[in-house]
Amino acid sequence: MTRVRIMFFVVMVVIVGFLGYITTMYARGYRWDRKSFEFTPSGLLVVTSDPKGAEIYVNGVLKTATDATVNLPPGNYQVSIKKNSFLTWEKTLRIEKEIVTQVDVTLFQAAGSLTPLTFSGAASPSASTDFGKIAYGDKKGLWITETFNLPIGFNREPRQVTDGDLTGASWQFSPDGRQILLTTKSGVYLLDSGKFTPQGQRVNIAVNLEATLSDWNKKKEQTLNAQLLKLPETMQYILKAKAGSVTFSPDENRILYTASDSAQIPEKLIPQLPGSSTQQQERDIKPKVTYIYDIKEDRNFRVADENQPAYWFPSSGHVILPMKDKIVIEDYDGTNKQTVYSGSYVAPYAYPFSSTGRLIILTNLGSNGSIANLYSLSLR
């Protein structure tokens, strides 16, 4: 009887050990190969999408629907995410053994709808630093429309900042968006962006213009320096001395910048994380070219060529590229370029709503001779 118990115990230990071994191998991404009769390594492709329920294709073969995990042997794969009425997301991904490759996909409508925001014209629209406000002129004066998501019941109608003839005038927001510097033929005026200032009550600050702009530049520099502190010193130096138009993504994990001089970003400034992007990067930066530096992954991607404006999309994973006769959105790594609008509009006036899946564009809808107005372009 004792011998039977010992044998039973030994068998159970073997079974439990074998099951534990199998479980461990599967957890590490290994799968049993019936041809070779052994465990072979694989990687995990985890795909989420917004909206959910999109089809996952790997090398043209439908695998499953999002959100899901797909086991794949190590190698390069052409991955496509498709959903009716949305543009197809496509990218070549490298799957590595025992590594989880996470893909968070944002799908954009194939035919976004346009909704008018202005009706009497919108001249020279200018955005605040956070794209929360857009200032524009018409025959009645200077106006502001806000792009933040407002609770139901709150007014989103444009509000007037000042009146008068603004022919030939220009305007720009202060770094915090609370003021607007208005330059006209008659003078330079500093206006409160939150209230109406009649033309007769505007105060000419032309004599203080240089001091005002200097103060604004100091505030911008202080804000940027505080953000850059999280970076290695080498990268801080490059962004301060070799780059311009430096802007952090809304989640502050990536940096959009245009190189002002040639420089080389050293390798391994930050320890690489498992599952980091395997897309091609450029660490030798060139003047006038726009890049995105991923802080967490220590990777630098080329996203726009010379003289091409680029703005962050609120997702922090995309940039907007306003081009002639079309607007393109691409992933932060410079791949998956998608044309979200094709047609007549006044380039480069295409700005993101600060917290929604929409853009503001300036267009007359191709009507020659008609004045251009601001429209909301729905992408989601």
Domain residues of the chain, as ranges?
Answer: 27-106
pLDDT over 90 percentage in the chain: 75
Is 35:28 a contact under the CB 8 Å cutoff?
no
How far apart CA 161 and CA 136 sit, in angstroms, is 10
For residue 322, the model assigns a pLDDT of 96
Strand order through the sheet with 159-163: 123-127, 133-138, 141-146, 159-163
Q: Is the pLDDT of residue 257 over 70?
A: yes
Q: Which of 4-8, 113-117, 322-326 has the lowest mean pLDDT?
A: 4-8
Is 188:181 a contact under the CB 8 Å cutoff?
yes
Q: Is the pLDDT of residue 22 over 70?
A: no
How far apart CA 336 and CA 321 sit, in angstroms, is 13
* Confidence category of residue 153, pLDDT binned at 50, 70, 90: very low
Integer CA distances (angstroms), 235 to 225, 238, 262, 269, in order: 12, 5, 14, 8
Per-residue pLDDT of 321-366, as tens digits, reads: 999 999 999 999 999 999 999 999 999 999 998 777 899 999 999 8
Q: Is the pLDDT of residue 219 over 70?
A: yes
More confident residue, 237 or 99: 237
Characterize the bridge pairing of strands 43-50 and 100-106: parallel
For residue 25, the model assigns a pLDDT of 52
Q: Is the pLDDT of residue 261 over 90?
A: yes
Average pLDDT over residues 83-110: 93
Length of the chain: 380
* Confidence category of residue 23, pLDDT binned at 50, 70, 90: low
Average pLDDT over residues 85-105: 93
Q: Look over the chain and give the mean of its residue pLDDT values, rounded to a whole number.
A: 89
At residue 148, what is the residue type?
F
Average pLDDT over residues 263-290: 90
Average pLDDT over residues 55-63: 96
Q: For the domain made up of 27-106, give the CATH fold.
A: Immunoglobulin-like (2.60.40)
Q: Which of 18-22, 165-169, 300-304 has the lowest mean pLDDT?
A: 18-22
Q: Is the pLDDT of residue 232 over 80?
A: yes
At residue 7, what is the residue type?
M
Average pLDDT over residues 161-182: 95
Average pLDDT over residues 41-59: 93
Q: Is the pLDDT of residue 265 over 80?
A: yes
Estimate to the nearest angstrom the gap between the alpha carbon of 277 and the chain centroid. 16
Q: Is the pLDDT of residue 6 over 70?
A: no
Is 31:71 a contact under the CB 8 Å cutoff?
yes
Q: What is the pTM of this model?
A: 0.85
For residue 359, the model assigns a pLDDT of 94
Q: Is the pLDDT of residue 152 over 50?
A: no
Contacts 24+ apart (CB under 8 A), 80-83: 80/56, 81/47, 81/49, 81/54, 81/55, 81/56, 81/57, 81/105, 81/107, 82/54, 82/55, 82/57, 83/49, 83/51, 83/53, 83/54, 83/55, 83/107
Integer CA distances (angstroms), 223 to 162, 241, 310, 315, 357, in order: 29, 16, 20, 21, 27
* Confidence category of residue 273, pLDDT binned at 50, 70, 90: confident
Average pLDDT over residues 196-221: 96
Is 105:90 a contact under the CB 8 Å cutoff?
no
Q: Is the pLDDT of residue 208 over 90?
A: yes
Characterize the bridge pairing of strands 188-192 and 114-116: unpaired
Q: Is the pLDDT of residue 27 over 50?
A: yes
Average pLDDT over residues 9-34: 56
Q: Is the pLDDT of residue 154 over 80?
A: no
For residue 28, the model assigns a pLDDT of 54
More confident residue, 255 or 380: 255
For residue 157, the model assigns a pLDDT of 84
